[in-house]
Amino acid sequence: MGVIINGVKWATRNIGFTGKFVSNSENYGELYQWNTNNSDYFLSEEVYYKSDFSTATTWLPANDPSPRGWRVPTDKELKTLLNTAKVKQEWTSLNDVFGMRFTDIATGNSIFLPAAGYIDYHGSLTGVDFTGYYWSNIEAVIDPIYLSNAYLLIFNRSGANWGNFPKGCGMAIRSVAE
């Protein structure tokens, strides 16, 4: 179920519903607001930022939607995929789904992350098949007066990068082994 890439054991599939992986590597899975474990409902921006979900500085274990034995990756673990001396990045498609393949140069192990897009504040799905957004478990406070963000892996056909995005948006999760 998992492969080691640059020292980190990655799940081969995204999280679907809480506690479950999707059936195939190219399935997008569910998109989660940061620090939530239920994708069945999407909190409005106002409700999310008044909730306990948004005030945490790390993704709380009780809210982790990963299956048993897996968890939301740290920022350091996600960044291992960006080390181009050890990991090859390739924009590609798998069964007609676009995404990024990350391959460990030393072992040939790889994972495919579908470009699942994200859910914006209004609950609209954006960027499917063009961009992938994958949460880390670490907050990135950009402007404490306005909104807090969390770190994430972002990729598109131009490559993969590290960034941050408002916690109230919905993103995919690719778990790592505990």
pLDDT tens for the chain, 178 residues long, are 899 999 999 999 999 999 999 999 999 999 999 999 998 889 998 899 889 998 899 999 999 999 999 999 999 999 999 999 999 999 999 999 999 999 999 999 999 999 999 999 888 999 999 999 999 999 997 766 556 899 999 999 999 999 999 999 999 999 999 9
- Assessment of whether the complete model's pTM goes beyond 0.85: yes
Distance CA 13, CA 31 (A): 13
CA atoms within 13 A on the CB side of 129: 5
Number of domains in the chain: 1
Domain that holds residue 24: 2-177
Q: How far apart are the first and last CA of the chain?
A: 13
